[in-house]
């Protein structure tokens, strides 16, 4: 992608009403449409979505394919895609505007600072879709199912919650299973090391991101874990 194209996308999302951005993680400040500051922690449904529907996060959302697909299917829920890459978020945010999907928005920030922008017991469900597996052992703490991140999720999730992990990485899949087994109070509900080997246990797994389509073309197996903490 050319630098000019990226700059245009950054300019576009600055004017989008469905994208909230944080430029400095040391400052828990969100900028909304036109660069206006807005405080949404504990108030996403009240101030942004303006309803009291269940709120679902997609972490490492990339282009937002999952958030968009789920928002289309479940108009009775709100969806918030989270990623640090603005040029990627632009795609999902643009589609949402074109289709007038009012129940989906995007938060541009680093996931390790998620609790700075989302309040306690505010989230009903989390999807983690094809995150970077960070294969180096020295970077294990950056994997989105490490105890470091599970502790953060626990701060923002309601008691009756569900978390989904969808990945093509055998290493991340095995790491996640071990991480959950070692995490106090974690409950693994369902696992599969090849979701397409049999009829889908969860119909929402049929949605495919840009990256999943690439992985399937490379004959990689898609793995899934459903759990709560």
As a whole number of angstroms, the distance between CA 76 and CA 192 comes to 28
83, 132, 159, 194: the active-site residue:
132
pLDDT value at position 210?
87
Indicate the average pLDDT of the chain.
94
* pLDDT reading at 81 higher than 70: yes
pLDDT value at position 3?
60
Task: Report the percentage of the chain scoring pLDDT > 70.
Answer: 98
As a whole number of angstroms, the distance between CA 11 and CA 5 comes to 10
Per the structure block, which two tokens stand in for 203? 């119909």
Average pLDDT over residues 145-160: 97
Q: Where are the alpha helices (DSSP H) in the chain?
A: 3-14, 65-73, 86-98, 147-156, 170-182, 210-217
pTM for this entry: 0.95
**Least confident range of 31-35, 112-116, 199-203:** 31-35
Confidence of residue 24 (pLDDT cuts 50, 70, 90): confident
Q: Domains along the chain?
A: 3-228 (3.40.50.150)
Could you give the C-alpha distances from 155 to 25, 114, 119, 120, 164, in angstroms and in order? 18, 10, 8, 5, 17
* Whether the Cβ atoms of residue 178 and residue 140 lie closer than 8 Å to each other: no
pLDDT value at position 25?
77
Tens of pLDDT, residue by residue over 157-202, are 999 999 999 999 999 999 999 999 999 999 999 999 999 999 999 9
**Least confident range of 24-28, 42-46, 146-150:** 24-28
The two counts, helices (H) then strands (E), for the chain are: 6, 10
Is 132 known to be catalytic?
yes
Confidence of residue 2 (pLDDT cuts 50, 70, 90): low
| Gyration radius of the chain's alpha carbons | 17
* pLDDT reading at 84 higher than 80: yes
């Amino acid at each position: 992608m050319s630098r000019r194209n990226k700059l245009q996308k950054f300019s576009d999302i600055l004017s989008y009403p469905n994208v909230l951005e944080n430029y400095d993680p040391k400052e828990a400040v969100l900028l909304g449409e036109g660069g206006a500051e807005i405080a949404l922690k504990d108030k996403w449904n009240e101030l942004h979505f303006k309803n009291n529907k269940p709120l679902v996060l997609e972490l490492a959302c990339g282009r937002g394919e999952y958030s968009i697909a789920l928002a289309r299917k479940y108009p009775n829920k709100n969806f918030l895609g989270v990623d640090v890459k603005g040029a990627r978020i632009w795609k999902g945010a643009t589609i949402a505007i074109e289709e007038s999907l009012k129940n989906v928005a995007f938060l541009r920030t680093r996931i390790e600072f998620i609790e700075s922008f989302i309040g306690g017991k505010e989230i009903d469900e989390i999807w983690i879709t094809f995150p970077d597996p960070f294969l180096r052992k020295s970077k294990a703490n950056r994997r989105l199912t490490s105890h470091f991140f599970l502790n953060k999720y626990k701060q923002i999730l309601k008691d009756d919650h569900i978390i989904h992990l969808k990945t093509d990485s055998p290493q991340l899949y095995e790491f996640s299973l071990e991480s959950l087994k070692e995490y106090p109070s974690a409950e693994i509900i369902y696992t599969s090391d090849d979701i397409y080997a049999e009829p889908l246990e969860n119909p929402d797994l049929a949605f495919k991101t840009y990256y999943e389509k690439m992985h399937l073309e490379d004959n990689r197996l898609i793995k899934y874990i459903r759990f709560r903490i």
